[in-house]
A and B are shown apart, each in its own frame.
Chain A
Amino acid sequence: AQSVTQLDSQVPVFEEAPVELRCNYSSSVSVYLFWYVQYPNQGLQLLLKYLSGSTLVKGINGFEAEFNKSQTSFHLRKPSVHISDTAEYFCAVRDLYNTDKLIFGTGTRLQVFP
């Protein structure tokens, strides 16, 4: 069965510093990949998604992610974070051949300090 691993449960970073949130998924022939953000007491909001084409995907709020098929990774990056980026970030995968279900990772808490 498809699974998603977010190795870092928490990532502390200073404001204006770059950040990378790591995501790995179990191998599959064809997948769609997503990053969602969850602010306190709110639902999830889509940051970006990879369906096909260019492996570098740009999303909202200055975030981008790179799909690496050989390493089965989809790491999220931002060159300069703001206090307002403090939130929980979830990586998710949809395995198109085994199930149409969206599988989420356990999340990474990004804490931005002034």
Chain B
Amino acid sequence: EAGVAQSPRYKIIEKRQSVAFWCNPISGHATLYWYQQILGQGPKLLIQFQNNGVVDDSQLPKDRFSAERLKGVDSTLKIQPAKLEDSAVYLCASSLQGAGETQYFGPGTRLLVL
């Protein structure tokens, strides 16, 4: 079975520019997650979708970050405008519905903001 796909793998932008990341979860997975992993830290949940709806976005900086999951499949995460501290790896994960279900992670998008 195909895993979680993410693109692009790498992105370099200047501060105040905008950037978008794309994620295609494993087929049939209702739940989709976006994590931010800053160098030297563990992943931090930004937003969790259950099908089309947002379950948790309490740690999403809503003044600059936005995310959507149209039709309950693919998802995009956008940053506008980017700040230096947004430099990180952005990981997408998906799982079947249920708290004990395994989250499967994509390879991530490494963002560098100059």
Residues of A within 8 A of B (CB): 4, 32, 36, 41-46, 49, 51, 90, 92, 94, 96, 99-102, 104-107
In which size bucket is the chain B interface? 20 to 34
Which applies to chain B's interface (DSSP): helix, strand, loop or mixed? loop
Q: Which residue of B lies closest to A30 (CB)?
A: B99
18 A-B residue pairs with Cβ-Cβ distance under 8 Å, sorted by A, are A32-B100, A36-B105, A43-B4, A43-B93, A43-B108, A44-B91, A44-B103, A44-B105, A46-B102, A49-B102, A51-B100, A94-B100, A100-B56, A102-B33, A105-B42, A107-B40, A107-B41, A107-B42
* One of A42, A43, A96, A100 near B55 (C-beta < 8 A): A100
From A45, A46, A101, contact of B56 by CB (8 A): A101
The answer to whether A106 and B100 touch across the interface, beta carbons within 8 angstroms, is no
Select one of B42, B45, B106 contacting A106, CB under 8 A: B42
In the assembled complex, the Cα of A41 lies from the Cα of B39 at a distance in Å of: 12
A43–B100 contact, CB under 8 A? no
Query: Which of A41, A42, A94, A104 has a CB less than 8 Å from the CB of B42?
Result: A104
Residues of chain B with a CB closer than 8 A to A32's CB = 99-100
A99 (CB) vs chain B CBs: closest residue: B56
Q: Is B72 an interface residue (CB 8 A)?
A: no
